[in-house]
């Protein structure tokens, strides 16, 4: 899969782009099977709403996060090498309030991070699809101190209210990512987005998000930066070539699945 010059232009205009991932159906189905086979405590975490970094347990989740055509798309959009550092898997819609991912993990220079949301099933309006606000990535950087609160995730409700006011003031119009299985939504670090209302609570919204930083940046966490910026080195998801050299270093899914059989 590849993206066109028009796709690049649309992404820089809107901060979001929906395209085919090119991930094989057996990988998509393998993700779901691997999540079903998680150890009991880990699966309970997933069923409670989400599981972080399950790529360590699932070669299929890992394959989606490091899918070469997606990496090529991101490099074309940003002109820099993408590096995946986190996966999140969801069984249903989150109904999460609007936010920018940069409030959780930021970069210097600003904006050198993105999210890729992969549909593991067809997602319609009743399932609580991703809601996003095109053009909002052009807003100035918003960190906790910028809204007059202490940089801490204890201040997060103040941030959420500020974002809701900002959306209203700028009259950003929401759009919903109702997409097919195997499609992805790529969004910029500063684009405002969240989880829309789940109109039918019985429906799932199985999906995977992978977050990517880009090479050549410094990485920091706004919620831990009270006096100085809290720089950190992300827990990178290894490139497939390095994982092949030392597969047991990164994956536990085979051992755990075998243990669960007995």
Q: Please report, for the chain, the start and end positions of each structural domain, with discontinuous segments joined by +.
A: 5-250
Instruction: Using alpha carbons, select from 251, 210, 261 the residue that is nearest to residue 86.
Output: 210
Instruction: Using alpha carbons, select from 72, 80, 201, 209 the residue that is nearest to residue 132.
Output: 209
Q: Alpha helix (H) ranges present in the chain?
A: 5-14, 25-36, 40-47, 59-65, 68-78, 156-170, 240-245, 247-250, 253-260
Residue 252: its pLDDT value, please? 53
Contact 190, 102 (CB under 8 A): yes
Query: The dihedral of CA 155, 160, 165, 166: what is its sign?
Result: positive
Q: Burial code of 230-258, b = ≥16 C-beta within 10 A, e = fewer?
A: eeeeeeebbeeeebeeeeeeebebeeebe
**How far is the C-alpha of 23 from the C-alpha of 182, rounded, in Å?**
6
Residue 257: its pLDDT value, please? 42
Q: Domain 5-250's class?
A: mainly beta
Residue 1: its pLDDT value, please? 66
Q: Which residues contact 91 (CB under 8 A, 6 or more apart)?
A: 35, 46, 47, 49, 50, 204, 205, 206
Task: State the residue for tokens 């990496």.
Answer: 71
Strand partners, 131: 176, 194
Residue 246: its pLDDT value, please? 56
Residue 254: its pLDDT value, please? 42
Residue 101: its pLDDT value, please? 98
Residue 230: its pLDDT value, please? 96
Contact 129, 90 (CB under 8 A): no
**How far is the C-alpha of 189 from the C-alpha of 114, rounded, in Å?**
5
Please count the residues of the chain: 262
Regions of the chain where pLDDT drops below 70: 1, 243-262
Residue 2: its pLDDT value, please? 82
């Amino acid at each position: 899969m590849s993206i066109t010059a028009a796709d690049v232009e649309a992404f820089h205009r809107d901060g979001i782009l929906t395209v085919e991932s090119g991930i094989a159906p057996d990988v998509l189905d393998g993700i779901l099977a691997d999540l079903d086979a998680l150890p009991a405590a880990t699966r309970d975490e997933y069923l409670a709403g989400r599981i972080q970094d399950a790529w360590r347990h699932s070669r299929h989740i890992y394959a989606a996060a490091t899918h070469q055509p997606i990496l090529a798309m991101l490099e074309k959009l940003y002109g820099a090498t993408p590096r995946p550092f986190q996966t999140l898997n969801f069984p249903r819609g989150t109904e999460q309030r609007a936010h920018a991912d940069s409030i959780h993990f930021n970069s210097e220079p600003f904006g050198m991070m993105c999210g890729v949301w992969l549909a593991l099933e067809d997602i319609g309006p009743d399932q609580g699809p991703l809601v996003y606000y095109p053009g909002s990535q052009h807003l100035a950087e918003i960190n906790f101190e910028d809204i007059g609160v202490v940089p801490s995730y204890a201040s997060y409700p103040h941030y959420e209210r500020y974002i809701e006011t900002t959306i209203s003031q700028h009259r950003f119009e929401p759009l919903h990512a109702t997409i097919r299985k195997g499609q992805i939504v790529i969004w910029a670090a500063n684009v405002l987005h969240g989880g829309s209302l789940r109109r039918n609570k019985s429906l799932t919204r199985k999906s995977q998000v992978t977050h990517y930083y880009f090479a050549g940046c410094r990485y920091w966490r706004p919620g831990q930066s009270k006096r100085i910026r809290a720089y950190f080195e992300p827990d990178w998801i290894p490139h497939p070539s390095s994982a092949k050299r030392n597969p047991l270093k990164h994956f536990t899914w085979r051992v755990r699945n075998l243990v669960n059989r007995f």
